[in-house]
């Protein structure tokens, strides 16, 4: 299992980004959370097999929302992320 935390910025709030990210996570089979941050970015924690995490990261970089645009991202593996059982929008 691979556990990552990811922050994306750009046009990622107010464009359905979190809900489309959840749809992608559900389709791929990733568990975790996605939430808006006060600075305008979106924070994601994701847990799953390495190949699925890699596919999820690629989809998020392309922006799952058609009207969104990811301009920057930061990704780190973090073994301390909890073992989520589903993917949910937290705010």
- DSSP class per residue in 7-45: EEEEE-SSSSHHHHHHHHHHHHT-EEEEEE-TTS-EEEE
Catalytic residue among 11, 35, 36, 88: 36
Segment 64-74 mean pLDDT: 93
Using the structure block, give the residue that is written with the tokens 């107010």.
Answer: 14
Q: Catalytic: 91?
A: no
**E strand or H helix that includes residue 70:** strand 69-77
pTM given for the model: 0.95
pLDDT at 78 over 90: yes
Catalytic residue among 18, 35, 62, 91: 18
Percent helix / strand / coil, the chain, rounded to 5 = 25, 40, 35
Q: Catalytic: 36?
A: yes
pLDDT tens sequence across 18-39: 999 999 999 999 999 999 999 9
């Amino acid at each position: 299992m691979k556990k990552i935390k990811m922050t994306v910025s750009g046009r990622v709030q107010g464009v359905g980004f979190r809900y489309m990210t959840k749809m992608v996570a559900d389709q791929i089979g990733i568990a975790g959370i996605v939430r808006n941050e006060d600075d305008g970015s979106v924070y994601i924690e994701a847990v799953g097999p390495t190949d699925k995490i890699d596919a999820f990261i690629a989809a998020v970089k392309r922006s799952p929302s058609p009207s969104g645009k990811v301009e920057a991202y930061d990704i780190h593996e973090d073994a301390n992320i909890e073992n989520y059982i589903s993917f949910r929008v937290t705010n």
